[in-house]
Structures are given as C-alpha cells and as structure tokens.
Copies of this chain bind each other. A is one copy, B any other.
C-alpha cells in the first residue's frame, strides 16, 4: 500500500498528466465501462463541517476507489484550508487497498481538468479573453486550465476581497505572463469569450443579457442542492453539456433549468463531456451559439487524478 502526500503531489504532478487521466476516465464513463456509486453526504461537528464521499469504479484501468471530502469553513480561523480531500484507491479484482492519496491540491487539478477538456471541445478556437467570476482557492486552477487549452491574452477577474485579489494575482503570475484585471461581473462578462464561474453562489451571479453570442461558459460552482450561478433563461437558450447528467439535474447548475422544465434529462444524457471527447456528440456548428459546461464533479475524476499522481510520484 502506497501513501502519497499533498507535498509530493505539488512537487511532482503536472496538470497535463491529470488532464490525460481525467480525459480517459470521462471517455470510459460515457462508454459504459465505468460506474459511479451513490454519493454519501453527512456532517461532522464544528462550524458547518460538510462531509461527502464520492466513489466509483473506473473500468478503463480498472480500479475502484473513493474520495472523502470535507468543507469546514471554520478552518480559516485556524489557518487551515476549508476543503480537505483524501482519495483511497482499491484493487478492482481483490478489494485490497492500493494507495492513499492526499488530494487537497490534486482536487484543484482534477476539477479544473474537466473545465479544460470542456473548454477545449466547446470554446471557439480563437477565444482569447477570459472572465473568472469568483476568486477563491479554486479560481487560479480554473484560469490556468483555460490558459492550457486556449490562447488567452486577457483575464478579467471578479471578486471583492483585497486579500483574495492579491493571492489570485500572485499565484497566477507565478505560472503565467497573462495580465489580470479586477473588475465587476458585467464588464468582465461583456468582454469575455470564455467565462468561468467558480463561486459558492445560491443565486445567479451573471445575467443572460451580458453574454455575447458565441461565448463558452464553464459553470464550476454548483455541486449541491440550491447552488446556482446562471440564470435559467441563459441555460435554456444555450447548448448545455454536463459531466454526469443524473447528477447535474440533482446538484449541478442544471437542477434549476431542469425543475423549470427548460431542459430534459434525456437531452443532457446525450450531451456529456465523455460523449464530446469520444466524438459521439459534437458541439453546435453555429459559432454564435452560447455553450455551457456544468461541472458538478464525479468520483472518476478523483480516481483518475489519484492514479496520475501515484504514477508521477512513484516514477520520481
């Protein structure tokens, strides 16, 4: 049994390696060779400690495993990160544990890998202006993911906290020469070819009227009942893509448009990231269409990222 620390992941695991593993995993999910098990949700003690377990079988390796994830906002006061993720990989045939991977940093890579893949497939090739709505810990991962797949020249970022602005700009500058400009949501979105929302919002953070034709939106925030970043009107008129349709309509951005009757489960089941990656489905040929990717996060991403990490760390 192997043990991979967060520090080892930060040092040795590249975004490209995670991206490749996550792509393979989404293709397997859409091919029917993988299966997602039920998500567990519970509470720890302390100030609002939300606990979840996501587990799956990735048939493309094959391997089974789980990610235990916590969100404890009270951690900030203790100088600790609010999000904690730990991934356990288990042998597909025997059930014996294979590795435990500290997945705090890795979780940022695995989530933004889905964004990178969706943006690569859905955004216009020449898209060069990015708006990032929300500047928490995940925002830099998402910005770098888009930079990985499109020739971004300008980044507009939206968020009020001076401390977070400094951290975002600092972390981005360590990895990229692209300049970031902090502004309001309307200005950012009106300028952008690609919009990434990465907030814990429970009401729309951008208006349908602001979005230019041909914009691609990656909605990364919604991963629980009640979360919402986009107006239903915007979802209804766009070409919508999801990581996993049954989950998207329950806890993803799609939950609101689904409940409003603007979007059908059957339609989303055809429009998955996996289908797009394996060429079974295509983005709209009309480049004026707005595209949306709704990422609610699935366990096969965690399993794939943990395997990539294990492979990178063990080969060093």
Say yes or no: A42 contacts B64, CB within 8 Å: yes
Say yes or no: B93 contacts A74, CB within 8 Å: yes
Q: Which residues of B contact A53 (CB under 8 A)?
A: 37, 40, 53, 55, 66
Say yes or no: B94 contacts A80, CB within 8 Å: yes
Say yes or no: A41 contacts B37, CB within 8 Å: yes
- Indicate whether A68 reaches chain B with its CB closer than 8 angstroms: yes
Say yes or no: A97 contacts B74, CB within 8 Å: no
Chain B binder among A83-91, A153-161, A243-251, A256-264: A83-91
Picked from B37, B69, B80, B86, the residue with its CB within 8 Å of the CB of A42 is B37
Say yes or no: A80 contacts B96, CB within 8 Å: yes
List A41-95 residues whose CB lies under 8 Å from chain B: 41-46, 49, 51, 53, 55-57, 59, 62, 64, 66, 68-72, 74-75, 78, 80, 83-84, 86, 88, 90-95
Q: Which residues of B contact A70 (CB under 8 A)?
A: 90, 94-96
Nearest CB in chain B: distance from A307 CB, A: 15
Q: Given the known inter-chain contacts A53-B53, A68-B66, A102-B97, please indicate yes or no for A92 contacting B40, CB distance below 8 A.
A: no
Bound CA span A35–B90, Å: 26
Say yes or no: A40 contacts B42, CB within 8 Å: no
Say yes or no: B44 contacts A92, CB within 8 Å: yes
Query: Interface extent on A, as a size class?
Result: 35 or more
- Indicate whether A286 reaches chain B with its CB closer than 8 angstroms: no
- Indicate whether A240 reaches chain B with its CB closer than 8 angstroms: no
- Indicate whether A100 reaches chain B with its CB closer than 8 angstroms: yes
Picked from B37, B42, B86, the residue with its CB within 8 Å of the CB of A97 is B86
Bound CA span A92–B56, Å: 24
Say yes or no: B57 contacts A40, CB within 8 Å: no
Say yes or no: B90 contacts A88, CB within 8 Å: no
Q: Which residues of B contact A92 (CB under 8 A)?
A: 44-46, 49
Say yes or no: B66 contacts A95, CB within 8 Å: no
Q: Which residues of B contact A88 (CB under 8 A)?
A: 68, 86, 88, 100
Say yes or no: A71 contacts B95, CB within 8 Å: yes
Nearest CB in chain B: distance from A31 CB, A: 15
Nearest CB in chain B: distance from A282 CB, A: 32
Picked from B44, B62, B100, B102, the residue with its CB within 8 Å of the CB of A64 is B44
What would 10 more interface pairs be, CB under 8 Å, given A35-B42, A44-B90, A45-B92? A37-B53, A40-B66, A42-B57, A46-B92, A68-B90, A75-B95, A84-B90, A84-B97, A86-B90, A100-B100
Ordered by A's residue number, 22 sampled pairs between the chains whose C-beta atoms are within 8 Å are A1-B102, A3-B100, A37-B51, A38-B38, A42-B55, A44-B90, A45-B62, A45-B92, A46-B93, A46-B94, A51-B95, A66-B68, A68-B88, A70-B90, A71-B95, A72-B93, A72-B95, A75-B95, A83-B95, A84-B94, A84-B97, A86-B90
Chain A residues near B (Cβ < 8 Å)? 1, 3, 35, 37-38, 40-46, 49, 51, 53, 55-57, 59, 62, 64, 66, 68-72, 74-75, 78, 80, 83-84, 86, 88, 90-97, 100, 102
